[in-house]
A and B are shown apart, each in its own frame.
Chain A
Amino acid sequence: MKGVIQFLFKVSLVTLVGLGMVLVYLNAQLTKQFDALSFSVGATVYARPMELYVGHPLTQEALRVELAALGYRQVSERPRAGQYRIVSGNRLDLMSRGHRYADGHEPSRDLRIQIAEGQITSLTDFSGNAVAVARLDPVVLAQLSGSHADRELVRLKDVPTELVNVLIAVEDRQFWEHHGISLTGIARAAWVNLGAGRFAQGGSTITQQLIKNLYLTRDRTLSRKLIEVVYAVLLDAQYDKSHILEAYLNEVFLGQWGARAIHGFGTASRFYFGKPLGELELSEQAMLVALIKGPSALNPRQFPDRAKARRNLVLSEAAEAGVIPAKDAQQAQSHPLNVPVRPADRVGRFPAYVERVQRELRDRYSREDLISDGLQIYTAMDPVRHAAAQQGLTETLDALGQQGLDPSREAQGAVLLLDIPTGEIQAVIGGRVADGGFNRALDARRQIGSLVKPFVVASALIRQPDFHSGTLVRDDPITLSLPNGDQWSPQNYSKTDAGVVTLETLLATSINQATVHLSVAIGMDAVLDDLVSFGIPLAPGRPPASVLGVSELSPLAMAGRYQMVFNRGFEVPLRAVRAVVDPNGMVVSPKPFATRQRMPSQVAYQVDRMLIATTEVGTAQRLGQAFPGLRMAAKTGTTDDGRDAWFVAADQRTLGLAWIGFDDNRVANLSGSRAALPVLQSAYRAITRQSRVIPRPDGLRETWLNAYGVDVDADCPGARPHAVPVDSPPPISQECNAQSGQGVERSWWQQWFGG
């Protein structure tokens, strides 16, 4: 007898120890997974907020696109936060949402916006008091997180209390009291199941539902149910209720759209109602709670009647539980479902831009920190401009296909849009498809062709202070003996010689021989040194052909070189990220605004003007013709056999760069003006534009020169406006066709050659 008892005791002990070990194991598994998953809200990447102030270039349409992207809803009564009302054709009232920015809180405020002729003409509050400047909330570009890239995660404190109360009243009334499982719930379920003769109702607590969503398969077996109960108890013992509730709110399955599963209330709020959770009305909150029961069967888009019935039941139960006033429930029950037929565009996917953002942050944050830290990342990305750039590329590549220039439809491209004075990157298109593959805007290294010429001319203007855009350069065959013994005779594409050209013509029509003549005249070594100092690295051996663009740069690097020219010679480091806020509210600006002069402003000014001439009379005329009355600067670039087509353009604020070519660098017969120009033509058409106006720096004066660089009357045929150095003016003549000045005793030419 004693032996039997002892035996039983030993068996029990072993069993208990075994069970304990299983529990410890299960617990370790559970906490490991739960901690890894739970509150990694990830990093949120925001687009630039739209700034509102009198004078801001903006169209009614662009404003409405922005409001739509932000999920603002049009109403007919006085708008509340996240709503707007169109008062008349050019007036719009809105109530902005507040947002905590890196530099402080932008409060929610009432704004009356008047727009006329492409800009804001009046900005007041609803009472008519002037508002100097206000910001809308920013569009979310991306959530950076390992597994939940597609979710709009929420923190418990940001979830409306009402919604939480309704949820608990309907799904788990004892949530705040029980220990993970509810015995009354299980008893009730058992009763129902007995009646139904099968295992139909779960009687699950919120904790159990979370476990089910997180760890378990969907099959309804008793063993699964047992594990679920064990897990629920363990979870409840180790984490506080609010922790569990927050995980539930972000995890619960609330719908399916094609291959995309809708998890969590934040995501569902966008998916069903196109607005953030905080803006849902009671009836909408109840609809989301109703969906927990059966997201597919109750899908309000497919089965509006069923969905509405269930929603109203939720409202009744919540009222009966006393968490909402009965009359509010009744009122909400009378509301329509209010679910737009199509889901709002999912959180935008801009892999090429986001990649740039991540690279800017790489030095400061590890990959893990980036996705798990709850960082708020504010960028300069402009959704409207980004769409314009992508559209421009897509249209152009399609056209190349149709024209037979790209029969295989394998041509690729890259587009960048930058704000010239701040160096902020507004759009990055890395290829034909925004699939997060090879990012050509950042990583392709391609020969730059004629994009180099403005820098050769800049070098000449620096080294010869008496040079100006009207200075004549020889354009006839030239042969250089290279150090390795080869002979190099660059040719003009036209296979003709102009004899002499002005520097302006050299740039505007991109003449090769004249560029080489100019470089040799200035001193090839000096020009090559200057190219390096402008940030254009040379191929090994410093080939003289560098002055015709054999250097290889990425589109982004090339855009940076032109930013300097278009910004009066001041280079501003390009950046996508404006500021980062960590979860403790610490603000970091990884790359604050900086500037550095790398080219004298007089030189940048003259080159800029020659590039304006390029759109007026040169290789970029097509762009000029597309926007009559708008002054823009531009440069085309094409490499040998048309392997690369480049185009750079600038209006007053925006620098655009487009590259088209093939990844395998094949012969393609592309040209800058035909293949790349249309990309930017299309992009500029879709954005606000301003004529280039650049104040003339000291040391230069305005005059009119004829084709020989002689200062003549402005009315002379063929005379063009030029800025010339005050200290060494060109010769002056009364004769329109004069080839040299009268009264100029010894020109620099004569000084050099003793003529």
Chain B
Amino acid sequence: MRVQLGCALIGLVLVGCTQSPVARPPVVDASWRATAQDRVQPSTPRQSEVAPPPVRGIDPAREQGETNRVIPIAPVAKIAPIDAPKAERTIPPAVISLLDQADQLRVAGDLNAASSRLERALRIAPEEAEVYYQLARIRLEQGGVQESVSIATQGVELAGADNALKRDLWTLIATARDRLGDTGGATQARVRARALN
């Protein structure tokens, strides 16, 4: 029933297109921006279409029994958005315990073991930006400067609204970029850190 509705809608679109209405929907159309290398012929009717060259790798959405289904803009149940904002961010006790252990090991100079504890924490709470911060810090101490920047960058992505943590991450990125000789990048990172104060 709803699928039929969808098809009907498409019918409208097609009609709309052929009758060139005043306000057309924005449609990505291959006839613009064609380069010399991939020139596009005007669309030809199917009957006169040249046989396609033997090209493999074409997936045909080959669903049994679904071949007639032109366009499945199916309605969905009104479910909560995928990313309903998380309530309070709480770090699980297991992760806190591992972060503590890692910190002790780091202070004691056993960076490998500290890193290994942090990887355990990461497996338990891969969304927890604090773990990425700590890992980035260890990598920097271990001399993996570029790796440190990358891990901290992912941390920023995960930190959400935790501005204090984001500031620490950007500061860490600035330090690492300095070490890489990327003065401009370091300055940018510092600006972003300061903006979070």
Contact = CB atoms under 8 A, between A and B. Distances in A.
Interface of A: 51, 53-56, 102-104, 130, 132-133, 419-422, 424, 447-450, 452-453, 460, 467, 471-474, 476-483, 486-502, 505, 508-512, 516-525, 543-545, 548-551, 568, 570, 578-579, 587, 589, 592-597, 601, 609, 612, 616-619, 631, 636-643, 653, 671-674, 692-697, 702, 706-710, 714-715, 717-721, 737, 739-740, 747-749, 752-753, 755
Given A51-B123, A477-B44, A718-B5, A524 B37 contact: yes
Contact of B40 (A132, A520, A721, A737): A520
Interface residues of B, number: 92
A483 B35 CA distance: 12
B27 A502 contact: no
A488 B55 contact: yes
A696 B50 contact: no
A374 to B, nearest CB: 20
The residue in B28, B64, B93 that gathers the most chain A C-beta atoms within 10 A of its C-beta is B28
B72 A509 contact: yes
B103 to A, nearest CB: 14
B112 A53 contact: no
A471 B27 CA distance: 7
Interface in B109-157: 112-113, 115-117, 119-120, 122-124, 126-127, 135, 144, 147, 150-151, 153-154, 157
B157 A568 contact: yes
B83 interface: yes
B185 interface: no
Contacts of A56: 94, 124
17 contacts: A54-B94, A103-B117, A422-B123, A447-B57, A477-B49, A481-B38, A488-B55, A489-B52, A498-B70, A499-B14, A509-B69, A520-B33, A524-B35, A594-B150, A618-B72, A719-B75, A747-B26
A550 B26 contact: no
A740 B33 contact: no
Contact of A592 (B24, B27, B75, B115): B115
B26 A486 contact: no
B107 interface: no
Given A523-B35, A593-B115, 10 more contacts: A132-B93, A132-B96, A133-B120, A472-B28, A516-B30, A520-B38, A618-B72, A694-B82, A695-B158, A718-B6
A517 B113 CA distance: 52
B124 A510 contact: no
Interface stretch (B15-23, B173-181, B186-194): B15-23
Contacts of B123: 51, 419, 422, 424
B70 A520 contact: no
A707 B153 contact: no
Nearest to A549: B57
Contacts of A490: 52, 55, 58
Contacts of B49: 477, 479, 489
Contacts of B25: 472, 500, 708-710, 739-740, 749
B44 A479 contact: yes
Contact of A544 (B6, B38, B86): B38
B69 to A, nearest CB: 7
A729 to B, nearest CB: 12
